[in-house]
Chains A and B, each alone.
Chain A
């Protein structure tokens, strides 16, 4: 890890030099940029400080960027990043555990001082105005101390008058194309923040583990980073090419449908009463476990016969946690939430194969039942949280559940019962 970071650092320096050279040669009126900050994100541990806006941009507000970057801004408006703070599900969770840790990532531009500054009863700053409504906006990623950072790979999406020079320079930073960039917010441990009752958290166990899941995956080995799926390339007007800023995730049906593949076979046993279903659940186009992210995320595979969905067999995929009393490293003893099992669909190239068999059996003795043609249906759904928890928070299935994939298979007869053979032409 350290070696790869060192290589990355060296690469960064190389790119930065190239970017500086390019801007100098281009003769734009933008200032010559020097270096990108070594640290881009403070994570949930402390508030993000992006510093002053870049010259000639008008400010750090999303609307300032949107004046020229129309298409990207439109995409961002529809993204989960935009509603990172205002999202109803997040707000429900924050109401239960109102911690600075949450604010630092979900409303990173929150200012503890200045006009309109608000504070929680426990003393941490609360977002107001655009810091709340814009959530993770452009400058959270792209602005540091008057410098605009970008991957340097896109062919510009900005709309400007012909002949008008670029109003600001861009410092190419290769981290923008790499998974480590996303890890800044999507890989973190349980916070070390003290609870009202005392400092009882262990910050050595992952609360969200998406980056490390990716590192274990075949995607990492093939150098396929998060951006390939979550920020796919888009062709804009006038030959521009840029990465999508919708930040596609589980809320995107198309992406979700590619995450996991389910296949099944169903056979009728020779007794005519037993249906054996074999279902295989394998990762699809996904570079991390499924589901990933928040510890409440889960998936359910339901399998049922004919129209009897009410009595479907259900299999869950989730991480399970338990509170254990132990000495916190370099800290006091206390209850620590530890993961005790992980039975999610593991990323490609890892984990054990997920093959499940279900057997449905009837003791119905009449011929009509035995001869009936049965169909096995299955549906894999992504859940934001366990159903009882969702219900307690007022979130119905429309919010909580999204279909990943579904299908059906006709039950094949291994050895047709005598009655069936009689009716064959």
Chain B
């Protein structure tokens, strides 16, 4: 049996089910979701009050894919499978700040405009482009490698130049990363350099990359690119960027993967359109509001976000709110033992400076017993 759905149909399904989740219309048994011919619920505009749920456990729709039920020779039309994850206690308490994380329509948001720069910066950008060109062979890394490698002893100095190159380097890197066919170690490494710049225009380049990827037909050849981009989308890219629902889906089949990833890009793009021109303090507040919302509605997502924040130097602004959120989970009588344990782990991570994890017994030398 082959999957016959077109990507368009899949996208539609995704959007509908995500909307259901956001509105608390999905019950614990999931009995209300999965219908592609179900009328779309009323969508509450961003910033307005959401309908209250009936309370109790609810589920969050993660994504959708297409899996017809095998009816043993009976004709089966293209069908939809929706994958949902529990637990979620009170969807009604989702804050307005979470609205960007629900794709409300199937249409891709507009592509962010191509960044421009002051003509006076042109010489500097050209210089950085030259450095980028020099690094052409630096990014090669076998997918089987356990560690990042560089091919040339001069690579580190080029990396350092790009890392210290300011906004000019961001333009040089951004032009390269906007190419949706680039993949491999290069993608995450270049993105890391963009993040380090803390320049807002860096997010614009990444958003353009997401748009181009989300526009592509999900072919086998694009899976690697999509996977990497999805991982990046899961990061808090420049303060406030959306945190992924569950990156575990990257091991799904190519078609499933493509269907699951697209909403992540749409969420990221929606976030960018809404927040890219906000000042840093406003983005911090937005991120903090989202953490609070998750804290109540989806502690698992709050813990995941806290762990992401703990591991990222550019997330300094959110470390304190994340720490407060984790302490609330630990001290909340309604938290389950597992939630408290997970929150404690996140607290430890948040209290440890990035890159300063304490050595385990094997770190830095042999196991010492005295």
Q: Tell me the A residues contacting B by CB distance below 8 Å.
A: 5-6, 8-9, 12, 38-45, 92-93, 96-97, 175, 180, 183-184, 187-191, 195-198, 200-207, 209, 211-212, 216, 267, 269-271, 274-276, 278, 294-296, 298, 300, 304-308, 310-318, 320, 322-329, 332-341, 343, 346, 349-353, 355-366, 368-369, 372, 374, 385-386, 388-389, 392-393, 414
Q: Which residues of A contact B361 (CB under 8 A)?
A: 180, 183-184, 187, 211
Q: Given A38-B369, A372-B74, A335–B359 Cβ distance below 8 Å?
A: no
Q: Which stretch from B103-111, B142-150, B269-277, B318-326 is at the chain A interface? A: B142-150
Complex: chain A residue closest to B185, CB-CB:
A323
Say if the beta carbon of B248 comes within 8 Å of chain A.
yes
Tell me which residues across on chain A come within 8 A of B33, comparing CB atoms: 359
Query: Which of B68, B148, B364 touches A362 (beta carbons < 8 Å)?
Result: B68
Residues of B within 8 A of A197 (CB): 138, 149-153, 155-156
Interface residues in B132-148 by Cβ distance below 8 A to A read 138, 141-148
Name the interface residues of B197-219: CB closer than 8 Å to any CB of A.
Answer: none
Q: Which residue of chain B lies nearest to A361 when distances are taken between CB atoms in the complex?
A: B34
Q: Is B112 an interface residue (CB 8 A)?
A: no
8 closest Cβ pairs, A-B complex: A316-B251, A197-B150, A308-B70, A359-B34, A357-B84, A188-B362, A362-B69, A359-B82
Contact call A357/B59, Cβ cutoff below 8 A? yes
Assuming A205-B357, A341-B304, A362-B68, is B147 touching A357 (CB within 8 A)? no
A340 and B234 contact, CB distance less than 8 A: yes
Report the nearest B residue to A276, measured CB to CB.
Answer: B30
Determine whether the beta carbon of A200 is less than 8 Å from that of B79.
no
Is B96 an interface residue, CB under 8 A from the partner?
no
**Residue from A38, A196, A269, A341 in contact with B368 in the complex, judged by beta carbons closer than 8 Å:** A38
Q: Chain B contacts of A195 at CB under 8 A?
A: 147-150
| Binary contact readout B243-256 vs A (1 if CB under 8 angstroms, 0 otherwise) | 01011111111001
Are B144 and A96 touching (Cβ within 8 A)? yes
CB distance from B206 to the nearest CB of A (A): 14
- Say yes or no for B281: interface residue by CB 8 A criterion: no
Interface of B is mostly: loop
Instruction: Tell me the minimal C-beta distance from B255 to chain A in angstroms.
Output: 9
Q: A23 → chain B, closest Cβ, in Å? A: 22
What sequence of 0s and 1s flags, for each residue 75-91 of chain B, a beta carbon within 8 Å of any chain A beta carbon?
11111111111110000
CA distance A341 to B185 in the complex (A): 17
**Mask for B326-366, Cβ within 8 A of A = 1, else 0?**
00000000001111011001000000001111011111111
Does B37 count as interface, using CB distance less than 8 angstroms? yes
In the complex, the answer to whether B147 meets A333 with C-beta atoms within 8 Å is no
B48-79 interface (Cβ within 8 A of A): 59, 65, 67-72, 74-79
Q: Annotate B217-241 by CB proximity to A: 1 below 8 A, 0 otherwise.
A: 0000000000000011011000000
Of B114-122, B188-196, B288-296, the one touching chain A: B188-196
Count A-B contacts at CB 8 Å: 341
| A276 cross-chain contacts in B, Cβ below 8 A | 29-31, 34
Residues of chain B within 8 A (CB-CB) of A270 are: 31
How far apart sit A188 and B362, CA to CA, in the bound complex (Å)? 5
Pair A184/B362 contact, Cβ less than 8 Å: yes
Question: Chain A contacts of B338 at CB under 8 A?
Answer: 350-353
Pairwise interchain contact A326-B3, C-beta atoms closer than 8 A: no
A187: chain B residues within 8 A (beta carbon): 360-362
Could you show 24 A-B contacts with beta carbons less than 8 Å apart? A38-B370, A39-B366, A96-B145, A189-B363, A195-B147, A196-B153, A197-B152, A204-B363, A206-B357, A212-B360, A216-B345, A276-B31, A298-B251, A306-B70, A311-B67, A316-B252, A324-B192, A325-B159, A335-B192, A340-B247, A353-B87, A358-B82, A360-B69, A363-B37
B150 touches A308 (CB 8 A): no
Known: A316-B251, A325-B189, A364-B74. A295 touches B362 (CB 8 A): no
Q: In the complex, what's the smallest C-beta–C-beta distance from A307 to chain B, in angstroms?
A: 6
Q: A183-B367, A200-B150, A357-B83 are in contact. List 8 more A-B contacts (CB 8 A).
A: A5-B370, A41-B366, A311-B1, A315-B248, A324-B195, A332-B156, A351-B338, A388-B143
Q: Interface size (B, Cβ < 8 Å)?
A: 103
**Which B residues are CB-close (under 8 A) to A352?**
299-300, 303, 338-339, 342
B146 touches A207 (CB 8 A): yes
What distance in Å separates the Cβ of B21 from its nearest Cβ neighbour in chain A?
Answer: 11
Q: Are B250 and A316 in contact (CB under 8 A)?
A: yes
The reply to whether B362 and A189 contact each other, CB–CB distance below 8 Å, is yes
Nearest opposing residue in chain B for A322, CB measure: B188
B41 at the interface (CB under 8 A from A): no
A187 to B364, CA, bound (A): 12
CB of A322 within 8 A of CB of B355, answer: no
**Complex: how many Å from CA A340 to CA B311?**
7
Residue of A nearest to B195 (CB): A324
Whether B144 and A389, one on each chain, are in contact in the complex, defined by CB atoms closer than 8 angstroms, is yes
**In the assembled complex, which residues on chain A have CB atoms less than 8 Å from the CB atom of B84?**
356-359
Enumerate chain B residues within 8 angstroms of A374, measured Cβ to Cβ.
69
B313 at interface (Cβ–Cβ under 8 A)? yes
On chain A, the residues within 8 Å of B307 by CB distance are: 341
Give the residues in chain B near A346, CB-CB below 8 Å. Answer: 342
Note all chain A residues with C-beta closer than 8 A to B146: 93, 97, 190, 207, 294-296, 337
Contact A368 B71, CB 8 Å, known A318-B248, A392-B143: yes
Minimum Cβ distance to chain B for residue A233 (Å): 25
Contact: A183 with B251, CB < 8 Å? no
Please indicate the chain B residues that have their CB under 8 angstroms from the CB of A97 in the complex.
145-147, 149
Contacts of A38 in B (CB 8 A): 368-370
Partner of A343, one of B156, B232, B247: B247
In whole angstroms, how far apart are the Cα atoms of A329 and B357 in the complex?
Answer: 10
Q: Are B74's CB and A369's CB within 8 A?
A: yes
Given A276-B29, A350-B345, A359-B82, residue A316 in contact with residue B249 (CB < 8 A): yes
